[in-house]
């Protein structure tokens, strides 16, 4: 109890709310327009799957952008990159409003992601700047609880907007959210990396730093554990419209409720993770989350093999896959970042980039699967969660070795 109170004193609720708002730009930009995919496909005269490729395009921008912002923030501080990234995000969101074909939308989405990903990089780095490993795990959980509201509310709000306005209004709303974030950063975000701790690195040194971080087992193994288990969420996001609206025939509003139900599981598990902070070790919580996700992935795969699986059975499996991230995400992140010190920004960028690279890979592979949508999703989830659980077990061996040494 005393350790928990000590960790809480290391950060304020207002600080976590601000970091959660910045991090929530990603889920908002991904989830709010999901109910509009069929409408956008009709307007552009293409298939829903073609328009759904704007999701992997967004993941590509997120993967590239984070590799840039990480070392830049280690060099010039955490606040200046936020100004640039949020400005780019607003401009790109407005460009999405003006697109007239699917390829222009894909291009605009890449730039939108290049701007929006600054929030998640800086949020992770700022937490590592100020907190120890236990405090970081708790702060990541607190942030994930708040951030979890984004995928719960975003599809509902998107579906509500679509009842009154065309799909372009969704991107106009996202531009306004970006402007709000910009002003919040300007007035409330305090620089967390002092000048004396900044890394003055050339391009060659940045490349060398990336290589050094990736060679660090204390970072690389938990990073892969977090990225592979997290990739199951991206498979869900990429497939959700095709599964719920295409295969099961749900309306836009019904889709938003189904999507929100699973997303709420992340908040639930993140809350449980926070309360287990003083009762279970970080690795035990990480292993529990990985096991829950694997079980859920097998259930989704099983329903995909059935000729006419009931929706409630599919939803049950998806709930375990998605909610388990509330345990795997914060703990894998805390373990990976625990030894990074002043290079936390660069390390955060690598981890974030790898997460979205896995999401991009899953989204692209789904295009080549020829079975029904739920089976395609189940196959990818089993592959990612089983690989993630293998990485988690490797983390356990690594921790045992470090203790014995």
The domain that holds 359 is classified in CATH as 1.20.1250.20
Instruction: Kindly tell me the burial class for residue 66, based on how many C-beta atoms sit within 10 Å of its own C-beta (0-12, 13-18, 19 or more).
Output: buried
Measure the CA–CA gap between 35 and 70, rounded to whole angstroms. Answer: 32
Which two structure tokens, joined as six digits, stand for 222? Answer: 């938990």
For position 132, what pLDDT does the model report? 65
Tokens of 116: 């929006």
Q: What is the mean pLDDT of the chain?
A: 79
Q: Looking at mean pLDDT, say which of 83-92, 115-124, 321-330 comes out highest.
A: 83-92
Q: Which range has the worst mean pLDDT, 101-105, 111-115, 198-202, 267-271?
A: 198-202
Give the distance from CA 402 to its chain's centroid.
Answer: 29
Looking at the predicted structure, is the pLDDT value of residue 193 above 80? no
pLDDT at residue number 176: 92
Model-level pTM? 0.71
pLDDT at 269: 79
For residue 64, what pLDDT is reported? 84
Model pLDDT, residue 93: 92
* Residue with the larger pLDDT of the pair 126 and 114: 114
- Are 126 and 19 within 8 A, CB to CB? yes
pLDDT of 201 higher than 70: no
User: What is the model's pLDDT at position 27?
Assistant: 75
Q: What is the pLDDT of residue 222?
A: 84
Per-residue pLDDT, 91? 93
Residue 1: which pLDDT band, with cuts at 50, 70 and 90? very low
Angle at 207 between CA 85 and CA 127, to 5 degrees: 50
Residues 274-330 have pLDDT tens digits of: 777 777 777 888 888 888 899 999 998 888 888 787 888 888 888 888 888 888 877
Q: How far apart are CA 174 and CA 25, in angstroms?
A: 8
Taking alpha carbons only, the member of 29, 7, 55, 394 closest to residue 226 is: 394
Report which of residues 404 and 121 the model is more confident about.
121
Give the chain's domain count.
Answer: 1
- Structural domain for 185, as ranges: 2-404
User: Residue 51 has what pLDDT?
Assistant: 80
């Amino acid at each position: 109890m005393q350790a928990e109170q000590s960790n809480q004193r290391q950060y304020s609720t207002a600080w976590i709310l601000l970091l959660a708002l910045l991090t929530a730009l990603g889920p908002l930009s991904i989830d709010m327009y999901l109910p509009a995919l069929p409408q956008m496909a009709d307007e552009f005269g293409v298939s829903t799957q073609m328009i759904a490729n704007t999701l992997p395009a967004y993941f590509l921008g997120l993967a590239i952008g984070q590799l840039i912002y990480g070392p830049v923030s280690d060099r010039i501080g955490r606040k200046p990159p936020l100004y640039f990234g949020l400005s780019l995000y607003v401009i790109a969101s407005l460009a999405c409003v003006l697109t007239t074909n699917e390829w222009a939308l894909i291009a605009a989405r890449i730039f939108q992601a290049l701007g929006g990903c600054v929030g998640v990089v800086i949020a992770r780095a700022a937490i590592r700047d100020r907190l120890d490993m236990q405090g970081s795990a708790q702060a990541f959980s607190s942030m994930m609880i708040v951030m979890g509201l984004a995928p719960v509310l975003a599809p509902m709000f998107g579906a509500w907007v679509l009842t009154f306005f065309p799909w372009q209004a969704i991107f106009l709303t996202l531009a306004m959210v970006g402007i709000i974030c910009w002003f919040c950063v300007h007035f409330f975000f305090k620089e967390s990396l002092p000048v004396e701790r900044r890394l003055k690195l050339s391009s060659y040194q940045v490349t060398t730093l990336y290589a050094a971080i990736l060679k660090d087992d204390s970072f690389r193994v938990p990073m892969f554990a977090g990225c592979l288990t997290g990739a199951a969420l991206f498979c869900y996001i990429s497939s959700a419209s095709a599964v719920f609206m295409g295969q099961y025939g749900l309306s836009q509003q019904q889709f938003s409720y189904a999507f929100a139900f699973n997303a709420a599981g992340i908040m639930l598990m993140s809350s449980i993770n926070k309360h287990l902070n003083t009762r279970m070790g970080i690795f035990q919580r990480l292993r529990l989350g990985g096991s829950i996700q694997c079980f859920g992935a097998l259930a989704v795969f099983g329903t995909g093999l059935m000729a006419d699986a009931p929706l409630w059975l599919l939803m049950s499996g998806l709930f375990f896959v998605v909610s388990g991230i509330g345990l795997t995400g914060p703990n894998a992140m805390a373990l990976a970042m625990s030894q990074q010190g002043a290079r936390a920004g660069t390390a955060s960028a690598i981890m974030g980039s790898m997460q979205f690279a896995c999401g991009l890979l899953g989204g692209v592979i789904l295009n080549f699967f020829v079975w029904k949508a739920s089976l395609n999703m189940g196959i990818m989830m089993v592959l990612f969660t089983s690989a993630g659980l293998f990485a988690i077990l490797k983390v356990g061996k690594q921790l045992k070795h470090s203790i014995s040494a």
